Structure 1
Amino acid sequence: MRDPKLARLADDPWLEPYMGQIQQRAKHIQFVEERLTGGKMSLDEFANGHEYFGLHFRDGKWSFREWAPNATAMYLIGDFTNWQQLDEFALHYGDGHGVWEIELPAETIEHLDLYKLKIYWPGGEGERLPAYCRRAVQDEETHIFSAQVWKPEKQYVWKFKNPAKPVGAPLIYESHVGMAQEEAKIGSYLEYKEKILPRIVEMGYNTIQFMGIMEHPYYGSFGYHVSNFFASSSRFGTPAELKELVDACHEAGLAVIMDLVHSHAVKNEEEGLSRLDGTHYQYFHDGDRGYHEAWDSRCFDYGKPEVLHFLLSNARYWLDEFNFDGYRFDGVTSMLYHHRGLGTSFGDYGNYFDGSCDVDAYAYLALSNKLIHQVRPDAITVAEDVSGMPGLGALVAEGGCGFDYRLAMGAPDCWFKLSNDIPDEEWNMSWLYHELTSHRADEQVISYVESHDQALVGGKTFIFELIDKEMYYNMHLDAQNLVVDRGLALHKMARLATAGAAGHGYLNFMGNEFGHPEWIDFPREGNGWSYQYARRQWNLRDDPSLKFHFLADFDQALMKLIRDHQVIGSGDPTFRLINEADKMIAFERQDLLFVLNFNPTKSFTDYSVDASPGTYKLALNSDAPEFGGHDLVQTDQEYQTFPFNDGENDRNLVNLYIPARCAFILQRMNN
């Protein structure tokens, strides 16, 4: 939910030349909503297409409806017709708005029956999966997908309530069910519940983000080429098993969000929405605008009421049916701009108001956020946007999109550029601090060192960027290696700096808290269909003879401190120090003082740092022996501030000994 302390769009003087456009966007959002609801219903009442379309068993009979305005004939085919086209399973043209429908007796269709649509259109025909189908399964031999009837005798009964919005701020553990297991295989919902969920609880995160939940035909797409928007991926198990996993997360007090992919859709025709009724433009733009060259996928037409009905209903469905607590909206930048954000640096405000914004997509995002928070006031919505579009986190009534958070995508770019391209002694502390703390006054951001994006094939995890091949030879406790020492130190410091300076939330991708090596690569023809890199090597973290557990233990201690002191979400950091020559940064949050020495070679004695007056103790030390450090600082000592006048200001300083490549968190004991 939006922080009431956030600024309004009108408070930004740089937006003054564009307020006319912002007000026009607000009017367009209102126009689209009135167009959809007709002023006769609420938005959440409108967003119930999943209860009207698709296959349903009600009042002792089956009903099925599909929107296909270009179709000339339509049949249900499946196990119940012996996959033959039969007249008694022909759909009838219904309300004159492109809707086809049929009613069938109860005994006609059974639980687990497979089925499809046989659709005819001018000049062609094809078999299709229904747009609103709630389950799709793949044949192990032919690899062909079919819709599957899901009507078990016993419906899943929810045991636990959705938790309240995380206290303080969301600490998000981004994860993928299929690649969560140690074994080289596709993991399941129940395996995740049994083996992975307890780890997340122990590590201290309060929110889980699931990728790849919506059904997708190609596993290697990571779940981002969605074919069946209302079907949970059958690779990982049944709908009931997904509900059991979500329920278990709620039992543990964790909020659960999922990736909502409404930015594009798979171009596959038999499994997906593309050419469902024979046209390219039913759900998508026609021509070049309907195709995303960089992603090889189809782009929705957000100006069509029927498309908005489909997408808004989808946003509601996962909250209603599976008790999710919100969404990370994928690919928002691609949605917002006609140029998809490709080749644009967004160097000034003019890039947001130069006519490139897709105002229909903007309106959809605003209405989706409005809907989600109507249905679930405590829901969490996160925008994956690299452009920094003003208004993403602002109120819809002000012309904003109403997102709770935006991913701070500049932070990982900064960390990887520093580690890859710039010698340690030349790191720019001002740039780093800016990237860790920068955000618009009207939005909240989720900060992170690395998500799944940084480690996809062609890239590496942050620890692998730092240590590379030495990870294979020098991660044993008795190994002495300067490259490994540097990598471990900077890995801890990056997480401490990012989480400590985070304004509103923090995210970590599964396994990266313990320095998962290498990269992520799903089974594909190019790697011999191997699962070698589509899994998580938990044994590395659990082996006491290896150094990985130092990073995991440090992350766990950091998350506990961040959570216990409600550091994130407590306002912006109080700046205390940047020294470019010494490579030092210091800032305060609540009663904690963060001090980081990024100097690769110099330790400092009696180093003066501005601080709130009081007595401090060491709360967390990245160089502590339990975290694989060199144990150069006495743990039980106290630090007392002293007054100082620099000739212009009265200040309070604390003197510290801080080793090279070391970070402290000091806790103030009295005010």
Structure 2
Amino acid sequence: MNDTALEQDIYLFHEGNLRYSYQLLGAHRDRQNGEEGIRFGVWAPNAEQVSVVGPFNDWDGRKHRMERVNDEGLWFAFIPEVDKGMIYKYEILTPHGHLRLKADPYAFSSELRPDTASKVYPLDDYEWKDKEWMKDRQSRNIYESPISIYEVHLGSWKYIEPEVFYNFREYADMLIPYVKEMGYTHIELLPIMEHPFDRSWGYQITGYFAVTSRYGTPDDFKYFVDQCHQQGIGVILDWVPGHFCKDEHGLRRFDGEALYEYANPSKAEKTQWGTLTFDFARNEVQSFLISNAIYWLKEYHLDGLRVDAVASMLYLDFGKEDGEWELNEYGGRENLEAVSFIKKMNEAIFEEVPNCLMMAEESTSWPLVSSPTYIGGLGFNYKWNMGWMNDMLKYMETDPIHRKYHHNLITFSLFYAFSENFVLPISHDEVVHGKKSLLNKMPGDYWQKFANLRAFLAYMYAHPGKKLLFMGGEFGQFDEWKDLEDLDWELLDYDSHAATKRYMEQLHLLYREMPSLWELDHKEEGFFWIDAQNYEQSIVSFVRNGRTSQDQVIVVCNFTPEVYHDYKVGVPKQGSYKEVFSSDAEHFGGSGQINGVGLDTVPVPWQGQDQHITMTIPPLGVSFLKRTSANKEEDHEE
């Protein structure tokens, strides 16, 4: 890096506008005075002295002291004898005269826990082979494409033994064929940044730029993503910019003072989680976080980030009691600095990685989360639909006898379904800490639990919005998620679980082959009710539209165990309809109450439509119907 470029990067870093600060700071191969070595850089404005220490100097801070290059606290050092794989830390002399050993905030790799040193690991040794995927991604319309996400915690998907995990390359060999077989379009990984405590699931981070050593090296993770792309699978990563853990070797009071966190404890403390909030107003922290998002998207070719706990960033009183927080300058509870940062972050990300996915886990009714910043939005392009998730799980947990009293829970989401670009999430948070597994939430006997699960999943895939399902749900895991054990794969030896897995495979096939189920996900013309009012029988019916008249599907859902023969359903077009998918088919474990012959329309108005069909409504079942032929007059008109 020449002096002019270095000065420019330093200026942008302190302005909060250096989008690639990980190229300035951290440990990088360099050549100085004819010698090959590693250049180290760190931001520690309050430090009296900073040294690089490790086995190469017997952890002696007197041997490789860093040079402070400006008043804003950037320190650099060049060490010839250090190369890839060497471990190191920064020894920091605080303003109070204490020596602290800190991991590098910009390290690309770390020691395996419980050890905490950073590792030198240049990122330019891997040769990518996903050019076709990356090229196609540039022109892909993500809004009008099928997106079905398999959410995975690698360490408990499969492991060698408790606390001993497979390598990313081994997971690639096992997980990718499974995801392809199931029919998902994307894998979403719980955070794989370096974290000290397994049971934080990666959400309490110490190394924001470091791939966790639990599963291998940065190159191993690149291989995993590369293989996903070559097999047609996108990769989304959970990302946690809202808070960080307090472990001594991490970011907390990095140079002896509050640096990455707010100095004001009422803003810094996340008492609910025992973590610290980033100081979103500090320019260098903005450069750190924005660079971190871009780093994962660019260096690892990721297709998107799911941004964790956005509400905790937006609200000063999130998870706090009265007296534990302070109003903003306008007397409100919004964290105005965080709002400004989020907008700036998203603007930067979409300029650098235009067609990526930025998905907000935002649990409140904050407006325009997935709208551009130029119209006042936060700038994400997707938002998790937590309202739909809460309503539907509450409804499905209700005994079918009482569901008629809660009918609004399955219809209310359509009042706001097009106010944001939504993902329908059934995530890890809903199947842990005593909440029961998705299957075990379902009421009824053994057969009814599986039938309820199939009906719920069919309704989910028919409802507007992209889809996300946590691992284990696809084959009906009976126990809730056990984060210290792997999934109960032995359940697939039992017919009902094997049939549920087969059901999800076929549901995904249907989903991907029917543009009406995803092409107009975010537009009102993609959906209309046929009948949303039949609360007495807990039956709803609706139409999903694609861009052409042929891409239309009628969906009929029955959330009771009653069978109804000769049931009238209004349809928008004349002709003959075929049941192309039924959650009650016998090979899925259903009762076999299917409509095996064509359903011809009767020219008598019903449910607001000009004609209707008469069909069998299966128990706890969902039917997908497509028109297969029309009368001659309509054929001529079309």
Name the TM tier (shorter chain). 0.7 to 0.9
Q: Does residue 99 of structure 2 align to residue 137 of structure 1?
A: no
Q: Secondary structure at the match of 2:474?
A: helix
Q: Which residue of 2 aligns with 1:379?
A: 356
Q: Does residue 489 of structure 2 align to residue 516 of structure 1?
A: no
Q: 1:317 aligns with which of 295, 307, 312?
A: 295
Q: Which moved more, 1:484-493 or 1:277-286?
A: 277-286
Q: Does residue 276 of structure 2 align to residue 298 of structure 1?
A: yes
Q: Does residue 414 of structure 2 align to residue 437 of structure 1?
A: yes
Q: Does residue 173 of structure 2 align to residue 194 of structure 1?
A: yes
Structure 2, gaps ≥5 residues long: 1-7, 323-327, 546-551, 631-638
Q: Does residue 468 of structure 2 align to residue 490 of structure 1?
A: no
Q: Secondary structure at the match of 2:152?
A: strand
Q: Does residue 553 of structure 2 align to residue 596 of structure 1?
A: no
Distance 1:273 1:462, change over 3 A: same
Distance 1:628 1:211, change over 3 A: same
Q: Which moved more, 1:293-302 or 1:57-66?
A: 57-66
TM-score by length of 2: 0.87
1:37 Cα offset (Å):
10
1:644 Cα offset (Å):
2.0
Equivalenced residues, count: 589
Q: 1:457 aligns with which of 433, 446, 459?
A: 433
Q: 2:76 aligns with which of 101, 105, 111?
A: 101
Distance 1:576 1:184, change over 3 A: farther
The separation in 2 between residues aligned to 1:289 and 1:98, in whole angstroms, is 24
Alpha-carbon contact 1:547-1:628 (below 8 Å) kept = yes
The separation in 1 between residues aligned to 2:193 and 2:447, in whole angstroms, is 41
Q: Which residue of 2 aligns with 1:670?
A: 629
Distance 1:424 1:182, change over 3 A: farther
Letter in 1 for 2:61: Q
Q: Which residue of 2 aligns with 1:573?
A: 527
Alpha-carbon contact 2:46-2:256 (below 8 Å) kept = yes
Q: Does residue 20 of structure 2 align to residue 48 of structure 1?
A: yes
Distance 1:552 1:285, change over 3 A: farther
Q: Which residue of 2 aligns with 1:243?
A: 222
The separation in 2 between residues aligned to 1:650 and 1:376, in whole angstroms, is 45
Distance 1:551 1:437, change over 3 A: farther
Q: Secondary structure at the match of 1:268?
A: coil
Alpha-carbon contact 2:309-2:362 (below 8 Å) kept = yes
The separation in 2 between residues aligned to 1:40 and 1:219, in whole angstroms, is 36
Alpha-carbon contact 1:112-1:151 (below 8 Å) kept = no
Q: 2:506 aligns with which of 540, 545, 557?
A: 557
1:78 Cα offset (Å):
0.3
Distance 1:505 1:241, change over 3 A: same
Distance 1:148 1:556, change over 3 A: same
Q: 1:157 aligns with which of 120, 127, 149?
A: 127
Q: Secondary structure at the match of 1:115?
A: strand
1:419 Cα offset (Å):
3.9
1:44 Cα offset (Å):
11
Distance 1:389 1:37, change over 3 A: farther
Alpha-carbon contact 1:266-1:297 (below 8 Å) kept = yes
The separation in 2 between residues aligned to 1:433 and 1:55, in whole angstroms, is 53
Distance 1:354 1:628, change over 3 A: farther
The separation in 2 between residues aligned to 1:640 and 1:260, in whole angstroms, is 51
Q: Does residue 375 of structure 2 align to residue 410 of structure 1?
A: no
Alpha-carbon contact 2:298-2:353 (below 8 Å) kept = no
1:255 Cα offset (Å):
1.5
Q: Which residue of 2 aligns with 1:114?
A: 87
Alpha-carbon contact 2:578-2:627 (below 8 Å) kept = yes
Q: Does residue 101 of structure 2 align to residue 127 of structure 1?
A: yes
The separation in 2 between residues aligned to 1:538 and 1:580, in whole angstroms, is 38
1:668 Cα offset (Å):
1.5
Letter in 1 for 2:111: V
1:38 Cα offset (Å):
12
1:49-85: CA deviations, max 9, x gaps? 1010111112334211111111001111101112222
Q: Does residue 554 of structure 2 align to residue 605 of structure 1?
A: no
1:634 Cα offset (Å):
4.4
The separation in 2 between residues aligned to 1:264 and 1:275, in whole angstroms, is 14
The separation in 1 between residues aligned to 2:245 and 2:214, in whole angstroms, is 17
The separation in 2 between residues aligned to 1:460 and 1:250, in whole angstroms, is 33
1:423 Cα offset (Å):
5.3
1:388 Cα offset (Å):
2.2
The separation in 2 between residues aligned to 1:394 and 1:98, in whole angstroms, is 37
Q: Which moved more, 1:439-448 or 1:376-385?
A: 439-448
Alpha-carbon contact 1:616-1:667 (below 8 Å) kept = yes
The separation in 1 between residues aligned to 2:595 and 2:377, in whole angstroms, is 51
The separation in 2 between residues aligned to 1:58 and 1:484, in whole angstroms, is 64
1:444 Cα offset (Å):
0.4
Q: Which residue of 2 aligns with 1:338?
A: 316
Q: Which residue of 2 aligns with 1:33?
A: none
1:248 Cα offset (Å):
0.5
The separation in 2 between residues aligned to 1:438 and 1:495, in whole angstroms, is 21
The separation in 2 between residues aligned to 1:182 and 1:149, in whole angstroms, is 27
Q: 1:652 aligns with which of 608, 611, 618?
A: 611
Alpha-carbon contact 1:53-1:66 (below 8 Å) kept = yes
Letter in 1 for 2:196: P
1:91 Cα offset (Å):
0.8
Q: Does residue 487 of structure 2 align to residue 536 of structure 1?
A: yes
Letter in 2 for 1:663: V
1:343 Cα offset (Å):
7.9
Q: Does residue 559 of structure 2 align to residue 628 of structure 1?
A: no
Where do 1:390-429 residues align within 5 Å?
390-420=367-397, 424-428=401-405
Q: 1:357 aligns with which of 308, 315, 334?
A: 334
Structure 1, gaps ≥5 residues long: 1-35, 345-350, 468-481, 523-530
Q: Which residue of 2 aligns with 1:507?
A: 468
Alpha-carbon contact 1:620-1:665 (below 8 Å) kept = yes
Distance 1:157 1:438, change over 3 A: farther
Distance 1:273 1:510, change over 3 A: same
1:305-345: CA deviations, max 9, x gaps? 1110100110111112111111000000100111126689x
Q: Does residue 269 of structure 2 align to residue 259 of structure 1?
A: no
Q: Does residue 244 of structure 2 align to residue 289 of structure 1?
A: no
Q: Does residue 95 of structure 2 align to residue 146 of structure 1?
A: no
The separation in 1 between residues aligned to 2:260 and 2:477, in whole angstroms, is 43
Q: Which residue of 1 aligns with 2:66?
A: 91
Distance 1:539 1:44, change over 3 A: farther
The separation in 1 between residues aligned to 2:25 and 2:120, in whole angstroms, is 14
Q: 2:42 aligns with which of 66, 87, 92?
A: 66
Alpha-carbon contact 1:283-1:300 (below 8 Å) kept = yes
Q: Secondary structure at the match of 1:288?
A: helix
Q: Indicate the RMSD between aligned Cα atoms, in angstroms.
A: 2.6
Distance 1:343 1:514, change over 3 A: farther
Q: Which residue of 2 aligns with 1:584?
A: 539
Letter in 1 for 2:273: W
1:298 Cα offset (Å):
0.6
The separation in 2 between residues aligned to 1:44 and 1:317, in whole angstroms, is 16
Alpha-carbon contact 2:110-2:210 (below 8 Å) kept = yes
Alpha-carbon contact 1:54-1:64 (below 8 Å) kept = yes
Alpha-carbon contact 1:183-1:535 (below 8 Å) kept = no
The separation in 1 between residues aligned to 2:9 and 2:412, in whole angstroms, is 42
Alpha-carbon contact 1:66-1:101 (below 8 Å) kept = yes
TM-score by length of 1: 0.83
The separation in 1 between residues aligned to 2:348 and 2:401, in whole angstroms, is 47
